Amino acid sequence: MSAEFCVPPARPRLFYVIGPSGAGKDSLLAYARPRVAGRPLAFAHRYITRPASAGGENHVALSEAEFAARALAGCFALTWNSHGLLYGIGCEVEDWLQHGLSVVVNGSREHLPQAASRFPAMVPILVSVHQDELRRRLEARGRETAEGIAERLRRASAFPVHHPALVQLDNSGPLEQAGEQLVRLLRGEI
């Protein structure tokens, strides 16, 4: 192991990536991950009451009973309920931060205040996309009915996001465009 892997960053930060479903958060995180490899940075997985075979992000699939048992045992730093599913971020992220790693989390716009309360020095990153592009992406992935897509489009504009450290990334264009912005942000270049 080289010495550069042992040196923690000056101040580890939690990067809280949020945005409407279909904005491309998972794609951006997948784009950035190999481009920041070797840096003192960890990408947290989410614990979700959704089957592992459902596609999308690499998450830990839990039944509702498993999720409830872990929540009761204090295994989550953050939890929320969205679209009929339970989501959790494991308390391991707190250990990673204490050991000098910055942490990237795929979060929730609606639960930003909860996250900001738990991690006051975090950097929220809002991924946005033009409404017509969002509709196209939601239709292309084929996971929702027409009514479900309409509801997701409504929710996309229903949660205005405010935070003093908010960074906004427009992911309406090619993935590389917003992806490179995210990489530079995670590297501390912007």
Q: How many domains, in total, are found in the chain?
A: 1
Rounded to whole angstroms, the Cα distance separating 154 from 148 reads 10
Q: pLDDT tens digits for 62-106?
A: 999 999 999 999 999 999 998 889 999 999 999 999 999 999 999
Range 128-144 average pLDDT: 84
Range 117-127 average pLDDT: 95
Is 116 contained in some domain?
A: yes
Supply the pLDDT for residue 11.
Answer: 85
34 is in an annotated binding site: no
25 is in an annotated binding site: yes
20 is in an annotated binding site: yes
pTM of the model: 0.86
Q: Which residues constitute the domain of residue 105?
A: 10-187
Is 3 contained in some domain?
A: no
Is 2 contained in some domain?
A: no
Is 1 contained in some domain?
A: no
Query: How large a percentage of the chain has pLDDT more than 70?
Result: 93
Is 109 contained in some domain?
A: yes
Q: pLDDT tens digits for 16-27?
A: 999 988 889 999
Strand residue runs (E) in the chain: 14-18, 41-43, 46-48, 60-61, 76-82, 85-90, 102-106, 123-128, 167-170
170 is in an annotated binding site: no
24 is in an annotated binding site: yes
| CATH code at position 102 | 3.40.50.300
Rounded to whole angstroms, the Cα distance separating 36 from 102 reads 11
Q: How confident is residue 149, by pLDDT bands cut at 50, 70 and 90? A: confident
Token pair belonging to 5 = 């892997």
Strand partners, 146: none
